[in-house]
A = this chain, B = another copy of it.
Amino acid sequence: MAIELVPLCSVHAQLKPPIEVGAGPSGTRLIIEVASARLKGERLAGEMVGTAGGDWVLVGPDGTGTLDVRVAFRTDDGAVVFVQYNGRADVSQGINLPLTVYVAPRFETCDERYLWLNRVQAIGKGTVHEDFSLDYEWYEAR
């Protein structure tokens, strides 16, 4: 039952400066909108569609960052794929860039060619850089 990580795609995104909702009922909320994002891989490649891509991050009083991301993509061969995930980051020393983040993407599509993607639980690791660009590697857990 050993788990195998099969490469799915790399992700390169440009984030916008956060909208600071601040300390509320579930911790400190930042809305980090995605300006652009590209998926690059042999099995999955595409570009963000629309403008409602973002990370509705929560920073807890205990120094844990919880990612809460929704982004839609159009693959290079024309399928619409919605990606949604939570994840964690250690911000116990503050939100200092570059920051390492860990995420667990799930996918939704109706395109026959990508139905396999609906059944994938992915895991990824990424870095948010000083210029608010973001790089990930995503893997399929198998």
Contacts and interface: CB of A to CB of B under 8 A. Distances in A.
Interface in A18-44: 19-29, 31, 33-34
A interface, how many residues as a size bin? 35 or more
A95 interface: no
At the interface, is chain A mostly helix, strand, loop or mixed?
strand
A128 interface: no
Given A52-B31, A52-B51, A110-B62, A20 B80 contact: yes
A121 B122 CA distance: 12
A50 B139 CA distance: 31
27 contacts: A3-B125, A3-B137, A3-B139, A5-B5, A21-B81, A22-B109, A23-B62, A24-B62, A24-B64, A24-B109, A25-B88, A25-B118, A26-B58, A26-B66, A33-B50, A34-B52, A56-B70, A61-B61, A62-B115, A64-B118, A64-B119, A86-B104, A86-B106, A88-B119, A90-B119, A92-B119, A103-B121
Interface of A: 1-3, 5, 16, 19-29, 31, 33-34, 49-54, 56, 58, 60-64, 66, 70, 72, 80-82, 86-90, 92, 102-104, 106, 108-111, 115, 118-121, 123-127, 135, 137, 139, 141-142
